Each structure stands twice: as C-alpha cells, then as structure tokens.
Amino acid sequence: MPKAAIYEAVHRPIQFSDLTRERISGLHEVRGRKIAVISAIADPYSFEKTVETLGAEIVLAARFDDHHDFTREELLDFATRCRELGCSDVVTTEKDSFRLAPALARYEFLNGLNFRALQIEFQLQDEEDFVRRCLNR
C-alpha cells in the first residue's frame, strides 16, 4: 500500500477586490455592514462564515451550483432583493467575480450595488516539508 503524505492547509482572507470601483480595499470595509453575498461554489456556507468572521451581517445569501453561469434574470432578481432589503454592499468569491464582471458592465440594474470579491490566500501548514518532498521525488 503506497504511503501518501498528508498536509493541512488553511484559507485566509487577505483583502477585497472592489469590482465596482476597480480598487483593492481592506477586510475592515465590511465590518458592521449589512451585506448580500452571491456565490456559485461547492461550499457557500464556508464562504459565508468567513465573511461573517470579518464582522459583516449577511442579510441576503444567493447560492448557486458550482460553476453556475449567472443569467440576466437571476441577477435582476438578486439586485431587486438587495434594494428591497436596503443593502447596497455585495460580496462574492474571487472565482465568481470573473463571471460577474461582464454583467456589471452590461446591466444597468446592477448600478448602485458595490460588488467586492473576497481574495483568499492558501497556506500550507508545513510548506518547507512539502517542498522538500516534492523536490526529492
């Protein structure tokens, strides 16, 4: 039976990419704010928990299947629900930001919503050992 090395890793939020204003912003930007989240990932609850640990209050969570392509109707419904809740701040994943960016430029009904993508850093617990084992193979 082959022996596989097992390594632990953590995902750590590092900053926001502000899609609306095309700038980088700090994690503190959502502290104490009511926000909406939109994601199309395998584990949206983990993403949402991370956002909450930054001090944000999620008032709307739009969850779609992994790799989902957002339709105009879905985004219109999302924007309408955000406005009904008085929420103009939206957080998404960095992965989903690539599918949302064209829609932000195309659909006027998304104007007035501040979209931010949460950037995550992947960090191995024992990176030195991992690199050493890879180089020795």
Give residue 86's Cα distance to chain centre: 21
Which residue matches tokens 């992994």? 66
HEC readout, 46-106: HHHHHHHHCCCEEEEEEECCCCCCCCHHHHHHHHHHHHHCCCCEEEEEHHHHHHHHHHHHH
Q: Per-residue pLDDT for 12 more than 70? A: yes
Amino acid making up residue 115:
F
pLDDT in tens, 64-105: 999 999 999 999 999 999 999 999 999 999 999 999 999 999
pLDDT in tens, 13-42: 999 999 988 899 999 999 999 999 999 999
Question: Residues 46-79, buried b or exposed e (16+ Cβ, 10 A)?
Answer: ebbebbeebebebbbebebeeeeebeeebbeebb
pLDDT of residue 2: 63
Average pLDDT over residues 118-123: 91
Is 13-122 a domain of CATH 3.40.50.10660? Answer: yes
Q: What is the pTM of this model?
A: 0.86
Phi, psi (deg, nearest 5) at residue 100: -85, -30
